[in-house]
Structure 1
């Protein structure tokens, strides 16, 4: 049974951070000093559960009036390919609408560009490196 929600408690936030650590630090080799930053204190965090097991995470923060930035969207490897990432993005977009945001921006790893394009995001930047990984900035008007 899949459940996606805003991480409201300390435990839920820690579970979201653990999923991020497993995906970005352990799997992709991103330094914890880069993965966990000052924005974690103020961002809205999302957590996805399969039954009671945390399997997906992400965060959204307001970066300008009307613009939110989706970040750190991830799904544990054994749960990929089942639409959970798309559901996490829908959850973040729905939350963004409640905050009167009209654009969601994100920095997508280049290999994930088709995933985000299928969700209606458009590339708005040239390729750049973040944590040593090629990215492009994408946006979607809500």
Structure 2
């Protein structure tokens, strides 16, 4: 059984970081100092678990203009293709709504654009490089909680 939890302890945050290190640093070659950054201190971290094993992660930051920014969404290779990306994105969006945000922005790796488009995100920029990986900015307006 899979579940998403908001990291509320140092251990849960370390679970998120360990998944991110495996996916972004080891798999994709992103330098560790770019992957784990100072923004982690104030972000809300989400961890996807299979039983008690961390297998996915993502973070949500509040930007200065009150918009939420989704970052670092990832699933371990052995668990991809099971719609767990949808699971973490829905948790991120639900939390954003609960905190009063009405818009989410993100920088998607270009290959992942179709995934985000299926969730209602639209591309808002030309392609740009981040950590030597092509990305495009995307956004989605979300409804306030009823």
TM bin, normalised by shorter chain, reads: over 0.9
CA–CA distance in 2 between the matches of 1:132 and 1:27?
A: 13
2:17 paired with 1:17: yes
Alignment of 1:38 onto 2:38: yes
Match of 2:53 in 1: 53
The one-character-per-residue Cα deviations of 1:79-128 (angstroms, maximum 9, x if unpaired) are 00110001100000000001100001000000000000000000001100
Q: Kindly provide the CA deviation profile for residues 26-79 of structure 1, in whole angstroms up to 9, marking residues without a partner as x.
A: 000000010011100000000010011100001000013331000000000000
Following the alignment from structure 1 to structure 2, what is the Cα–Cα distance between the partners of residues 116 and 97? 18
User: Aligned equivalents of 2:111 and 2:18: distance in 1?
Assistant: 23
SS in 1 for 2:101: coil
- Tell me the secondary structure at the aligned position of residue 64 of structure 1: coil
- Whether 1:85 and 2:102 are equivalent positions in the alignment is no
**TM-score, with structure 1 as normaliser:** 0.98
Q: How does 1:1-142 map to 2 (within 5 A)?
A: 1-142=1-142
Compute the RMSD of aligned alpha carbons.
0.6
Unmatched 5+ stretches in structure 2: none
Q: Distance in 2 between matches of 1:25 and 1:126?
A: 25
Hey, which bits of structure 1, 4+ residues long, moved more than 2 A?
A: none
